Amino acid sequence: MLTDLINRPKTSKRYVLVLVLITFAILIGGFVLLQKMQNVKILMTLFAVVWGVGSAALLYFTMNSIAQSLPRKMRSVAVAIVFAGPAVLILFWALVLPTLRTFWFSFFDATGSKFVGLKNYMFAFTDPIMLESFRNNLLWMIFGTSTCVILGLLIAVLGDKSKHEKVFKSLIFMPMAISFVGAGVIWKFVYAYKGQGINIVEIGLLNAIVTAFGGEAQPWLLVPFWNNFFLIFIMVWLQTGYAMVIISSAIKAIPSSLNEAARVDGANGFTIFFKITVPFIMPTIITVTTTILIFSLKLFDIVRVMTGGNYGTNVIANEFYLRQFTYGNTGEASAIAIVLLVVIVPVLYYNLKEFRSRKVLK
Amino acid sequence: MKKVKPKIQKSQIVIAAVLILIVTLWTVPTLGVFITSFRDSKDIYSSGWWSVLPHKDIVKTVEIELPQDIDPDGPITLEGHTANFNQWREGIEVSEGRILRWYGNKRSRIVEVYEKKWVGFGANLTLSNYRDVLAAGTVTFEDAQGNQITRQGNNFADAVLNSIAVSIPATVIPILIAAFAAYAFAWMEFPGRKPLFIMIVGLLVVPLQIALIPILRDFTAWGLNGTFVSMWLAHTGFGLPLAVYLLYNYISTLPRDIFESAYLDGATPFTTFVLLVIPLSVPALASFAIFQFLWVWNDYLVALIFLGDKNRVVTSALAAMVGEKGQDWHLLTSGAFMSMIIPLMVFFGLQRFFVKGLMAGSVKG
């Protein structure tokens, strides 16, 4: 049945018209129906999945039929448009145009009605809250990224020599499957603080350990400046697995003859590590570092859930959220988003350069 | 030769020790939340979650009621030890690990016996936290001081269903669109092919924050705010650059011959795509699907902005709980586990594909 439809030799105009009408009916009817199903959750979920996926497939099928019904001369371009068009269109709508629109908004006031020139950028670079956010983002980028990469490298190298590599690796990798919000709860519980006094039993793991060794319990997330590091550790916990997996596969690609030759020449573990392993996997280390660097720059959820950006832990992306969605200042929020983009531009440049040098596109 | 062998073993031990240390640090926080999610709300406040694990501790075993003729003001002799009331009140170790302590005032005449014992086996575990967090109605529980607290349930069951309704289409749709596009970029000739593809690669690093305000304005104008469709569209847009890039890398390596012979047989590009390219690309499609699914399921920012409180997904529901009920650990921990269970299943079940997907694309926008 399906192949019959797909292989239909010549698509008549009438058939295409009917198909277009049916497609529209399903798209609009399904949307209306979905909104009305709010009270029957299970049914709604099933319907949303089937209708959402089905509509996307149907759209392609219909568009292809339209393209096939066109005169032969236009057909090959029409088919290419059907295939590549939706992706290009969505990317323009979701990323390209928004970049320009956000740039435009950044020169206007809170509601977007009055031109204010560079005022929002003055705010973005001089406001004390923004300066604090810049400082903290710098901490995230420097300490977060380097800890992830160094730990990932360490575990990858050690794991390579261990018999139970797979178990170790998947346990360290596991947090990658956990949301930042979930991780926030996990670590809020580790950092939990009940206060000082007799008969207070600390239920947070960190304070329990500190008090067991005779220390004093601390409200870890409220200690200015240092609380940033307690938050950064959550990112390290989440992202080290990623660095480890990628670096580990690069280490496995090092020809064993190279290591053996070094060993024959009398090199010890450290020499091999610094003179062979690290230089060999340097491109991978750079890629991983770049990814985590971008990631830590845009980081939002951990700070949002753990401290809301209070107690000196604010970051740029959180301030963006606050400006736009709490204070309703589109101008300032847009300027912050543009600053984020500008910081990333060197990475973008590097990415494109590397992409061209690999000559992926024939 | 003889000397080499023990040296290797020694380094093996050091390696194992370092790895075990890191793995412990990596898993214990999750374990703590997991255990806590099964503990009684009152127990959570009075002891750490680790007290559930079997360990030796000093615990009260029995209470002895002293005969009325004992004079609390004079010296008191118990089990061969003599001391005055205040000393007994402090507690005295009468034998190895056995401590006697006077309970209450002088008139109570009750002595508690404390002994070092293995505890933790009979921990008071319960599923009621999960019931409370899934429920939509009101929930009552007892807090640390023994007060009865009544709260609105968190309706996590609905949040899980919403997450499913968001995640599955938001995984399949971008893959479908990306696969079509990747095929076109790899095997079709059309004007603007190269610059468009370079644009896609460039978009890999654009932070999604930059797109949020304009897209929110569009959704408001189109009346899509708070609908699943808005989430599908947004996640499709944000996931597409990586999806197209990865699938392009894969599809462009398929041998040209199969397409050519298909065309000779009279197949259209659409037929070739559905019947040949899709089945051949399953490994790449699957690994990206897992990646995108986890990303969408775990997303908080996009859901927070486009869905709001209507059709709340698990991450939003959990984050709202952290904000409103920061000390209700029995609800928070069970909620956290509810939000993690599906991604963890996907992760452990399909780990190998996931790793492949990660390694193929190392930048996500």
Q: What is the pLDDT of residues A6-38, one digit of tens each?
A: 555 555 788 888 999 999 999 999 998 888 887
Q: Do B233 and A94 touch (CB under 8 A)?
A: yes
Q: How far apart are the two ends of chain B, measured CA to CA in Å? A: 54
Higher pLDDT, A164 or B294: B294
A347 touches chain B (CB under 8 A): yes
Least confident of A84-93, A135-144, B145-154, B326-335: B145-154
Least confident of A270-274, B54-58, B241-245: B54-58
Q: In which band, very low, low, confident or very high, does the pLDDT at B1 lie, cut at 50, 70 and 90? A: very low
The residues with which B112 forms a beta bridge, in sequence order, are B63, B101
Asked if residue A326 has pLDDT above 70, the reply is: yes
Least confident of A127-136, B112-121, B317-326: B112-121
B185 touches chain A (CB under 8 A): yes
Angstrom distance (rounded) from CA A212 to CA A202: 10
Residue of chain B whose Cα is closest to the Cα of A42: B161
Interval B220-247 mean pLDDT:
92
Higher pLDDT, A249 or B143: A249
Output the pLDDT for position B47.
Answer: 77
Asked if residue A334 has pLDDT above 90, the reply is: yes
Query: Angle at CA B280, nearest 5°, toward B275 and B281?
Result: 110
Output the pLDDT for position A361.
Answer: 46
Determine the residue among B10, B18, B154, B205 to mutate to test chain A binding: the one whose Cβ has the most chain A Cβ atoms within 10 Å. B205
Strand, coil or helix: B112: strand
Return the closest-CA partner of residue B365 out of A199, A35, A98, A278: A98
Interval B291-309 mean pLDDT:
90
Output the pLDDT for position A60.
Answer: 92
User: Which residues numbered 249-288 in A keep a CB inside 8 Å of some CB on B?
Assistant: 249, 269, 287-288
Residue of chain B whose Cα is closest to the Cα of A56: B173
Output the pLDDT for position B326.
Answer: 67
Angstrom distance (rounded) from CA B333 to CA B43: 14
Asked if residue B2 has pLDDT above 50, the reply is: no
Q: Do B332 and A41 touch (CB under 8 A)?
A: no
Q: In which band, very low, low, confident or very high, does the pLDDT at A4 lie, cut at 50, 70 and 90? A: low
Q: In which band, very low, low, confident or very high, does the pLDDT at B123 lie, cut at 50, 70 and 90? A: low
3-state SS of B47-81 is CCHHHHCCEEEEEEEEEEECCCCCCCCCCEEECCE
Residue B224 to chain A, least CA–CA distance (Å): 10
Output the pLDDT for position A12.
Answer: 77
Output the pLDDT for position A358.
Answer: 61
Interval B169-183 mean pLDDT:
95
- Name residues whose C-beta falls within 8 Å of residue A26's C-beta, 6 or more positions apart in sequence: A51, A54, A55, A58
Characterize the bridge pairing of strands B76-78 and B81-83: antiparallel
Angstrom distance (rounded) from CA A190 to CA A175: 15
Interval A340-345 mean pLDDT:
88
User: Which residues numbered 106-145 in A keep a CB inside 8 Å of some CB on B?
Assistant: none
Interval A270-286 mean pLDDT:
87
The one-letter amino acid code at B257 reads: D
Higher pLDDT, B68 or A249: A249
Q: What is the rounded (10 degree) CA torsion for B269, B275, B277, B280? A: -160
Average pLDDT, chain B: 83
Q: Which CATH architecture has domain B156-358?
A: Orthogonal Bundle (1.10)
Q: Do A337 and B212 touch (CB under 8 A)?
A: yes
Output the pLDDT for position A223.
Answer: 85
Residue A77 tokens read as: 């371009």
Output the pLDDT for position B61.
Answer: 75
Tell me the HSE value of A121 on the side-chain side, using a 13 A CA sphere.
14
Angstrom distance (rounded) from CA A279 to CA A75: 52
Contact A192, B357 (CB under 8 A): no
Domain ranges of chain B: 10-45+125-152, 55-119, 156-358
B233 touches chain A (CB under 8 A): yes
Output the pLDDT for position A98.
Answer: 94
B340 touches chain A (CB under 8 A): yes
Output the pLDDT for position B283.
Answer: 87
Output the pLDDT for position B68.
Answer: 76
Q: In which band, very low, low, confident or very high, does the pLDDT at B176 lie, cut at 50, 70 and 90? A: very high
Q: What is the pLDDT of residues B183-197, one digit of tens each?
A: 999 988 888 899 999
Backbone phi, then psi, for B105, in 5-degree steps? -85, -175
Least confident of A144-153, A174-183, B142-151: B142-151
Interval B241-253 mean pLDDT:
90
Q: Do A87 and B359 touch (CB under 8 A)?
A: no
- Name residues whose C-beta falls within 8 Å of residue A52's C-beta, 6 or more positions apart in sequence: B168, B169, B172, B173, B228, B229, B232
Interval A175-203 mean pLDDT:
84
Output the pLDDT for position B365.
Answer: 33
Output the pLDDT for position B8.
Answer: 61
